[in-house]
A and B are shown apart, each in its own frame.
Chain A
Amino acid sequence: MEKIPAVRFEHITKAFGSKVVANKDVTMDIEKGEIMALLGENGSGKTTLMNMLSGIYRQDEGQIYINGEEVHINSPKDAYDLGVGMIHQHFKLVDLFNAAENIALGMDKKVTGNAKKIEKDVREICDRYGFELDLKKKVYNMSVSEKQVLEIVKTLYRGASILILDEPTAVLTPQETDKLFSVLRNMKADGKSIIIITHKLNEVLAISDRVAILRKGEYIDTVLTKEASVQSLTDMMVGAKVELDIERPDVKHKTRRLSINHLTILDKYGVKVIDDVSLDAYSGEILGIAGISGSGQKQLLEAVAGLQPAEKDSSIKYIDPETREESQLIGKSVSEIKKLGVSLAFVPEDRLGMGLVGNMDMTDNMMLRSYKNGHNIFTDRKTPHDLAEKVKEELEVVTPGISTPVRKLSGGNVQKVLVGREIATEPTVMMAAYAVRGLDINTSYTIYRLLNEQKKKGVAVIYVGEDLDVLLALCDRIAVLCGGRLNGILDGRTATKEEVGYLMTKLIDYGQEAETYDYHEEA
C-alpha cells in the first residue's frame, strides 16, 4: 500500500493585498510519525503556511489533504476536529485560570464540568509522553516553559495528531529545550506528526527527521536531516553561498569612551538589579555582555541611555573622543545627554515597543531621531524620507514601500529599520540588546557585519547577547553579569563557552554570601 502523508499541501497560494505574496504554489508533504522542521528566512511564509493548516487563514488557491482526504479548514475549530493543533509563539492562555481550567476551556459542556475526568485524562497524556504539569497551578504563576507544556498538553487533550510548534525554543533555556525535545521524540514514537518552525539550525539538526525549506514564499526542497549541515541548510534558505564565519577585526586606536563606576540600580521593589558594577567601554572594540536573562543587562544599558535612574555614588562618565572632556551621564535625561554632544545609538530589546513606533511608517520612524533638528517649528520630512530610502536600499529591507507601517514588516526587517536608523546618527557609543533575537541566520549576519563596521569606525560597541557562540566569536571582551553583579571580564579571543557559562551562574569573589544566593529566582 502506498504511504499516505499526514498532511499534503498542493499548489497553495496565499497573497495579502496585491503586493505581498506570502506563499506561492507550495506543494509538500508531512509524513505520519515524523518531526519535520520548516525552515526559511524571516518573511518567507512559514507561519502563513501553518496558519492555513490551523484554520487562521484561508488559502487563495490550492488544496490541503489530511490523511489523504481533501479538507476545507475554515476555522481553528475545523482544524481541531481534523486533529491539527498549533502552539503559537505567544501563548493563548487565561492567566487567572489554573492549568486544568485552561484545558477545559472551550470544550464540550459535558466535559468542562467534569474535573475528575479531565484530571484523569490529562494525567494519562502526561505519563505517556513524560510531561510534568501541575494541574492546580495558576497560569500567572507559571514559567514560560510550564506555559508551553500546558499549551502542548491542551492541544493533545483535544485529540491533535498533527502538532505545529512556532519557534518553541525562542524563550527556553538550554535545559528546558532538551526537555521539550525529549517529549517531542516520545510523541513522534507514538505516531504523531510534528512540524517545528525554528531559526536555530543546530536545533533543527538535533530534533528533526526532515527539513523543508521555504524561500520568499516558495517551496524549495525537503532534505533528510542526516544528510544536511548548518552550511547546506543556510545556503538553501538564502539561495546563495553564505559565509558563516563571524569576522573579528583587531582593535585599533583603543581609547576609553565610557567609564562606569560603582553603578547600583534598584527596581521598583527596592531590590538591587545592578549591584556596584564598574566597567569601561573602549572605542574600536565590541564589549559583549553575557548573563542569564534578567541579570541586569537591560537596566545597565538603560542607565547609560539616560532612561534609568541610579543610586547615589553611581557614576557613568563619557569621555569625548575629540576633547577628552569627561561628562557625567547619571541624572541626565535622554535629551540632556544628547545636548552634551554625546552621540549614543541604542538598539533596545523591545524593538516595536520602544525602539520604533509600530503604526508609523519608515519615514516617521527615521524621524524619531531627527525631528528636533533645526529651529523651525515644523518638521523636516525630506531628510528622514531619504534616509528611509537609503536604509531600505542598503540593508535590503523587504517592505511593500517605505510608507508601510513598520509593524507589518517581519521581525528581521523591523530590526534592520531600527539598526539602520541608529547607525545613521553616526554614534560614538552603540549599544545593542539581543539584536538578533528571532532573526534568521542571514539577517543575523547582516547585523554582525554592521556592528563590526561601527567598531572599525572607532565606535565603542556594547553588545548584549544570549548566544554564547556568537558572543565568543564577535566580541573583544565579554563582561559577565550574574544576579546584577559583574562576575568577571573575559577576553573574547581566549575565553571558552564553559568559562562564560560558569560565570553566568556562579558568583565568585563574594565569599559565603554568594553561595546562598538563589540564582534561579532571577532566571
Chain B
Amino acid sequence: MTIMKKHKSERDPLFHVVRRTDISFGKAMLIRVLAVLAALVLCGIIIVLITGENPFEMYKYMFDGSFKTPRKFWAMLQDLALLLCVALALTPAFKMRFWNIGGEGQVLMGGLGALITMKLLGDDGAHLPHAVILPLTILAAIVFGAIWGVIPAIFKAFWNTNETLFTLMMNYIAIQIVLYFQFIWSGGSNTIPIVNAGRETSTYAGWLRLPAEIDPSFTGSTVVPSSSGFLLNIIIVAVLTVAVFFYLRNSKQGYEISVVGESENTARYIGINVKKVIIRTMIISGILCGIAGLLIVAGTDHTIDTNSARGYGFTAILVSWLAKFNPFYMILTSFLIVFLQKGSIELASKTNNIINSNFAEVLIAIIIFFIIGCEFFINYKIMFNPRKKRKEAEA
C-alpha cells in the first residue's frame, strides 16, 4: 500500500457549518432577540469591570433617554421619523446598487431651499402670506434635493463616474454653501435666527405645522419651537414609508430599479432604458432627501446650520442596510439607532460622565455588532458532529 502523507484532520472536527435554506420568521426573530440579550450581558460585564457601576441602573438610564417623559418620547419619535425619512430616501438608490452616500448633502440642500424661500418671502423679505409661502417652501426643498441627487446620476449614466466618491464630495459642497448663508444671514453670530418668528411680527410663514387645535404644542405666542410640528412630521414620514414600500415592491418603476440593480445587461436586453432609470431613481432619492430637509427646517428647527442634517445622511445607510432595504423593517432599525443614541446621551448626563458619551458609544457598537453578527446564525447552522462517531474515528 502506498504511504500517505500525514494530514492534520485525522478525525472529525467538533462541528461544521451548514448553510440554511429555510428558516421560519419566528426562529430568525428569536435569534435576533437572543443576540441583543447577549450583547446586553457583555455590556453589563464591561460596565462592571471598568466602572463598577450597577449595569441595570445604566440600562435604566438608557431606557429613560427615550421614555422617561412624554416630551422625551415625542422627541425620540421625531428623530426616528427624520432618520427614517433619510433612510427611505437612500433605499431606492441602494436597490439599484447606486451607492448614494450623499444623503447628508441632499438633506442640507433641501433644508436650505426651504429656508431661503421662508426667509426671502417671509417677514424679512416680501411679507407674503403663509398660504403662499408654504407650497413654495415645499417646492423649493424638493427641487433643491432633487438637483443635488440628480447631478451624480447624470454623470454616472453618461460617463460612468463613480457615484460613491461623487455623492460624498457633493456633501462637502453643500456644507460650504450652507456655511455661506450662515455667514451672510447671521449678522456675525454665525447662527441664523429662527425665521418668521420675530417677537412682534410672528407670522410663522412657511412653518410646517398642524392647526393649534390638533397639535397644542403650537399655540400662538406660547410656541415651543422645538416641539412644534412633531406630529405632522411623524404623519408625513409614516405615509412616505408606506408609499416607498409599495413603490419598490409593486410598481413598474420599482421593478425596473431591481432589474437595473441586479443586472444592467438583463435590463438592456429586456428594453429598459438604464440611463433613464438611474436618473429617475436619483431624482426620487433626492426628492425624499429634500423632504427630510424640509421636515428639519420648516418642521423642526426653523433655521439651518451645517449640522442640521444631524449626520443622518450617513446613519441612514446603516438603517437601510440593517433592514435589508425593507421600509417597514427600517422603522425598527431606525428606532434602534435613535434609542441607543438618546440612551447614551442620558447615560452620560445621569452618571456625571462616569460613563461619558464615548463609553456609551462603545456599548452601542457592541450591541450593533451583535445584531449584525447574529445574521450569520440566521444564514448558517452549526452542526455538531456526534461524539460517538468521533470516538470511533479516534479508535
Residue ranges of A at the interface with B (Cβ–Cβ < 8 Å): 4, 16-20, 58, 60, 66-75, 78, 81-83, 159, 161, 305-307, 333-335, 337-338, 346, 348, 350, 353-360, 364, 367-369, 371-372, 377-379, 381, 400
Instruction: Tell me if B2 is interfacial: C-beta within 8 Å of chain A.
Output: yes
Verify B9–A73 contact, CB threshold 8 A.
yes
CB of B60 within 8 Å of the partner chain: no
Known interface pairs A74-B16, A307-B269, A400-B21; A357-B263 also in contact (CB < 8 Å): yes
Q: Find the residue from B1, B21, B269 having the highest chain A CB count within 10 A.
A: B269
Are B255 and A367 neighbours in the complex by a CB distance under 8 Å? yes
Q: Which of A18, A337, A358 interacts with B21 by CB under 8 Å?
A: A18
Query: A74 and B9 in contact (CB under 8 A), knowing A350-B265, A377-B252?
Result: yes
- Known A335-B271, A377-B251, A378-B252: A69·B262 in contact at CB below 8 Å: no
Instruction: Kindly provide the distance from the CB of A338 to the nearest chain B CB, expressed in whole angstroms.
Output: 6
Query: What 0/1 pattern do residues 1 to 30 of B give for CB contact below 8 A with A?
Result: 110111111111100100111100000000
**B353 within 8 A of partner (CB):** no
Q: Is B68 an interface residue (CB 8 A)?
A: no
Chain B residues within 8 Å of A381, by CB: 250
- Contact of A67 with B2 at beta-carbon distance under 8 Å, contacts A72-B10, A307-B268, A354-B266 already known: yes
Chain B residues contacting A60 (CB-CB under 8 Å) are: 383
Q: Do B271 and A360 touch (CB < 8 A)?
A: no
For residue B270, CB closer than 8 A to chain A, the reply is: yes
User: How far apart are A517's CB and chain B's nearest CB, in angstroms?
Assistant: 31
B269 touches which of A16, A75, A161, A355 (Cβ 8 Å): A355
Q: A339 vs B2: C-alpha distance in the bound complex, in angstroms?
A: 70
Which residue in chain A gives the minimum CB-CB distance to B5?
A81
CB distance from A197 to the nearest CB of B (A): 23
Centre residue among B246, B250, B253 by max chain A CB count within 10 A: B250
Q: Roughly how many angstroms separate A372 CA and B273 CA in the complex, as a whole number?
A: 13
CA distance A355 to B9 in the complex (A): 44
What CA separation (Å) do A338 and B272 show in the bound complex? 12
Question: How far is A416 from B370 in the complex, measured between Cα atoms in Å?
Answer: 42
B1 x A369 contact (CB < 8 A): no
Inter-chain contacts of B258 with A (CB < 8 A):
357, 360, 364
| Of listed B1, B11, B270, B393, residue having the most chain A CB within 10 A | B270
Question: Are A348 and B269 neighbours in the complex by a CB distance under 8 Å?
Answer: yes
Knowing A368-B270, A369-B270, A371-B252 are in contact, say whether A358-B263 is a contact too (CB < 8 A). Answer: yes
Contact residues in B for A17 (Cβ distance below 8 Å) = 19-22
A355-B269, A377-B252 known; A78 vs B9 contact (CB < 8 Å): yes
A357 touches B251 (CB 8 A): no
CB nearest neighbor in B for A32: B2
CA distance A81 to B9 in the complex (A): 10
Query: B124-153: which residues lie under 8 A (CB-CB) from chain A?
Result: none
* CB nearest neighbor in A for B19: A16
Cα(A16)–Cα(B268), bound, Å: 34
Q: Give 7 A-B pairs besides A83-B5, A333-B271 with Cβ atoms closer than 8 angstroms.
A: A75-B9, A78-B8, A81-B6, A83-B4, A305-B269, A368-B266, A377-B253
Q: Which residues of B contact A78 (CB under 8 A)?
A: 7-9
